[in-house]
Chains A and B, each alone.
Chain A
Amino acid sequence: MPTDAPLQPADQATKVPVTVLTGFLGSGKTTLLNRILTEEHGKRIAVIENEFGEIGIDDALVVDTEEEIFEMNNGCICCTVRGDLIRVLGTLMRRRDRFDHILIETTGLADPAPVAQTFFVDDEIAGQLRLDAILTLVDARHLGRHLDDAKPEGVENEAVEQIAFADRIVLNKTDLVDEAELDEVIGRIRAINRVAEILPAQYAKIDLGKVLDVGAFDLERALDVDPSFLTDGEHQHDLTVSSVGIELTGDLSIPKLNDWLGELLSTKGADIFRSKGVLAVAGQQNRYVFQGVHMLFEGIDGQPWGNTARVSRLVFIGRNLDRAALETGLRRCLASAR
């Protein structure tokens, strides 16, 4: 939601990072969790699980919780949050021993939105924790089948959803596919989410530095995107979930932007899973940076533009996105536009 009190970068640094781990059963979540706990053994890590996994590390605090999703009114916006996480994280954060990192493992079929939204709407959580990244594990061999799973009208394919929400995607079990199959899987992931970094792996062996404490939800780093994608034409008309990147030169007007984004996210927010932007705003020395999950978004002043070209970049990942309408909408926010 639009917030009057921007987060201070200094505050962000003292907050405990939280990684959300999603992925289908069999994608290797437990293997990755055990790897993280083994390799990062010097750290105090808490793991919040929804399924009884096989975590065998004594140092870590493992808490089992049953997913409780409820609707919550947040101002005029209604969104879903995870009530169990609010309670469990709230209790963990009151303890005297502080954790260096918290991992939240979701069930195989979970929609990542309520988890992410929890970090936007609960003050106690937002004040002490920061959502570092949504990490999605996929099985290179079976992903295609999961993506093709036909769902009843109005029900989202969970595999599509988990990929759309991801900041990092671990493409696991690459040893079970040949190169052509791998290219195809990567192509399918890219068709949905053009922003997330894809990390191919076997036995969930990845450089943990690329998935932990990466600040993917860090507003300062909101858009580390390959620029070519932003100017790319739309090739994937057949896909219902895709990414749209927009680049625009010229300063934007904040009131127009607020009107447009507010209207867009309140009417189309259900279809827009993630939104990120680094914008050039008229009269402002600094970048305006924002991150959104469905209808909720948060924006702050970022780094100064300095000598770099004042080019606004925006990314939407969602269902039935209308690139032309989004581009027109953003262009109307130019300070020079009438």
Chain B
Amino acid sequence: MSRTANLRTAGRTPTTPVWSIDLDDAVSTVTAAPRGPMVAAASLSGRTVVIDADDGVVVTEMPHHELGALAAAWSPDGRRLAVGGADGTVVIADITIGRRDAVMGQGWVHALAWSPDGQYLAAGRGREVLLLRPDGAIVTRWPGQPSTVTALTWAGHRLAVACYGGIRWYEPGRNRTEPVRIFDWKGSLLTIAVAPNARWAASGNQDASIHLWRLWSGEDYEMSGYPAKVTAIAFAPDSQRLAAGGGEEVTVWNLGGKGPAGQRPASLRAHAGLVVALAYAPVPPVRTGSAGRAGRRTAAPPLLASGGRDGRLAGWRSSGGSRRPHFEVDLGAPVSSVTWTADAALVVAGTQGGRLSAVRPSDSPPGTGTRRSS
């Protein structure tokens, strides 16, 4: 590994991968642990590897999933990794002690999400949602969803289930078989996200649109007219912006003020193919003694990484005048998934060619940018 010390040209950091490894088949998902250096990558060969992002070394492999591993999720403490596949199996591994528990069944496991307190793992398998304990014990099942569960996410203690017809909210504690709330919308939801401040939920949809809900009121917005189905959406860590794919541009909606009604999104152009993966850099915990003064105001906005079918991985400062990418790198095959390491130092991207690459956007640590006068 060579460090290109503080080389900056016109605001860009020319980048080549810090490390790359090859999996046996297209990477279906790559996800970094919320703590520590570990990154998990699942592939359509059925293989899932856990990698130490610091050096790109495979630390452990998860059990094989026939027909492909499709979903992976880390517990909030970064100890456990859950992986689901087309074989209907969910495996939960405690990486620290090597223990593994498996829940078997039928149907493709497309979605996995840990509750923020780490007490539950929700798994979408076919038309069913399974609620599991960290040891794989089944707490409850919510079968008979309107279609295959395409995505799951949590807002506090509520679980959001995406499928055809909207978002259905469940509350594990209440022991109810019916959703506690339904955001009806006649369309096929492909992906969902909840803003970190729990004020917004958004979905990317098959009919080339984004749907956005205010969580409290249920008031909703539709952003349509995208060139293609929207498979990638991401909220910024400050919940003020929503980035979306669905075309060759990354569109960024401003959620501040009165909301997105009537506004036009910013569009970021670097890709020559559909943008299919988006991830904002996490805001790492403030280290004591460093930015003691109003850390947030002086911090540079977090980087947004975008991956496209054109094989390009690009990074953007989510605000600021320049619409040019902060960094760009060609990964040689259509990008399928993108994640940031917990310390926001590396972007790890998987491609349809089966390659996993880590890119260091900049040698300066995040959070040390200068204040902008705008």
Check A73–B26 contact: CB distance below 8 A.
Answer: no
Q: Is A145 an interface residue (CB 8 A)?
A: no
- Asked if B362 is at the interface (CB within 8 A of a chain A CB), the reply is no
Contact of A94 among B186, B206, B229, B336 (CB under 8 A): B336
Asked whether B191 is an interface residue with its Cβ less than 8 Å from the other chain, the reply is no
Across-interface contacts of B207 in A (CB, < 8 A) = 72-74
B70–A91 CB distance below 8 A: yes
The residue from B86, B164, B352 contacting A83, defined by CB atoms under 8 A apart: B164
- Quick one: CB contact mask for B156-197 with A, threshold 8 Å, 1 for yes? 000000001000000000000000000000111000000000
Chain B residues 320 to 374 lying within 8 A of chain A, measured CB to CB, are 336, 352-354
A-side contacts of B28, CB under 8 Å: 91, 94
Q: Is B255 positioned at the interface, with any CB of A under 8 Å from its CB? A: no
**Contact pick for A96, options B67, B86, B353, CB 8 Å:** B353
**Complex contacts, A63 vs chain B, CB 8 Å:** 67, 86
Cα separation A86 to B150 with both chains bound (whole Å): 12
Report the bound CA distance from A72 to B45 in whole Å: 32
The answer for the CA separation of A61 and B108 in the assembled complex, in Å, is 15
Counting CB contacts under 8 A, is B315 at the interface? no
Contact B354 A68 (CB under 8 A): no
Report the interface size class on chain A: 20 to 34
- Whether B44 pairs with A95 at a CB distance below 8 angstroms is yes
Q: B105-136 interface mask toward A, CB cutoff 8 Å, 1 = contact, 0 = none? A: 00010100000000000000011000000000
Total A-B residue pairs with C-beta atoms closer than 8 Å? 61
B147 A94 Cβ-Cβ under 8 A: no
In the assembled complex, B68 has its CB within 8 A of some CB on chain A? yes
Q: Choose among A83, A95, A96, A97 the residue that contacts B206 (Cβ–Cβ < 8 A).
A: A83
Residues of B within 8 A of A86 (CB): 206
Question: How many Å from the CB of A19 to the closest CB on chain B?
Answer: 21
Please encode chain B, from 209 to 248, with 1 for each CB lying within 8 Å of some chain A CB and 0 for all others.
0000000000000000000110000000000000000000
Contacts of B110 in A (CB 8 A): 87
Partner of B352, one of A61, A66, A94, A122: A94
Contact with B along A79-118 (1 / 0, CB 8 A): 0000110110001001111000000000000000000000
Verify if A224 is at the interface (C-beta below 8 Å from B): no
Chain B residues contacting A66 (CB-CB under 8 Å) are 126-127, 148
Complex: chain B residue closest to A71, CB-CB: B186
A263 within 8 A of partner (CB): no
User: Which residue in chain A gives the minimum CB-CB distance to B164?
Assistant: A70
User: Is B25 an interface residue when CB atoms closer than 8 A count as contact?
Assistant: yes
- Min C-beta distance of B27 to chain A, whole Å: 9
CB pair B229 A124 closer than 8 Å: yes
Interface size class of B (residues with CB under 8 A): 20 to 34
Q: Are B68 and A91 in contact (CB under 8 A)?
A: yes
Would you call A123 an interface residue if the criterion is a C-beta within 8 Å of the partner chain's C-beta atoms? yes
A124's closest neighbor in chain B, by CB? Answer: B229
A interface SS class:
mixed
* Chain A residues positioned under 8 Å from B86 (CB to CB): 63, 91
**Residue numbers in A under 8 Å from B187 (CB-CB):** 72-73
**Are A84 and B148 in contact, CB atoms less than 8 angstroms apart?**
yes
Would you call B68 and A95 a contact (CB within 8 A)? yes
Q: Mark A42-73, 1 if CB is under 8 A from B, else 0.
A: 00000000000000000001010010101111
> Which residues 50-68 of B sit at the A interface, judged by CB distance below 8 A?
67-68
Closest-CB distance, A324 to chain B (whole angstroms): 37
Max count, chain B CB within 10 A of own CB: residue among A61, A72, A84, A122: A72
Q: How far is the CA of A83 from the CA of B110 in the complex (A)?
A: 14
**With A70-B164, A122-B229 as given contacts, are A94 and B26 in contact (CB-CB < 8 Å)?**
yes
A96 touching B164, Cβ below 8 Å = no
Q: Which residues of B contact A94 (CB under 8 A)?
A: 26, 28, 44, 336, 352
Contact, CB under 8 Å: A68 / B25: no
| B204 → A minimal CB distance (Å) | 14
Q: Report if A83-B148 is in contact (Cβ < 8 Å); known contacts: A66-B127, A95-B26.
A: yes
- Cα–Cα distance between A87 and B206 once the two chains are bound (Å): 11
Whether A123 touches B229, Cβ cut-off 8 Å, given contacts A70-B147, A96-B26, is yes
Instruction: Tell me the complex Cα distance, A112–B147, Å.
Output: 19
Contact partners of A95 in chain B: CB under 8 A: 25-26, 44, 68
Rounded to whole Å, the gap between the CB of A65 and the closest CB of chain B is: 8
User: How would residues 299 to 332 of chain A score, 1 for a CB under 8 Å from any chain B CB and 0 otherwise?
Assistant: 0000000000000000000000000000000000
How far, in angstroms, from A63 to B66 measured CA to CA in the complex?
11
Task: Find chain B residues with CB under 8 A from A83 CB.
Answer: 147-148, 164, 188, 206
Which residues from chain A sit less than 8 Å from chain B, CB to CB? 61, 63, 66, 68, 70-74, 83-84, 86-87, 91, 94-97, 122-124
Chain B interface residues (CB < 8 Å from chain A): 24-26, 28, 44-45, 67-68, 70, 86, 108, 110, 126-127, 147-148, 150, 164, 186-188, 206-207, 228-229, 274, 336, 352-354
Return 6 A-B CB contacts under 8 Å, by A number: A68-B147, A68-B164, A74-B207, A83-B147, A91-B86, A96-B25
- Taking A83-B147, A86-B206 as known contacts, 12 extra A-B pairs with beta carbons closer than 8 A to each other, sorted by chain A number, are A61-B67, A63-B67, A68-B164, A72-B188, A84-B148, A87-B148, A91-B28, A91-B44, A91-B68, A95-B26, A96-B354, A122-B206
Q: Across chains A and B, which 9 residue pairs bring their CB atoms closest together, nearest first? A: A94-B26, A96-B25, A70-B164, A68-B147, A95-B44, A73-B207, A123-B228, A94-B352, A72-B207
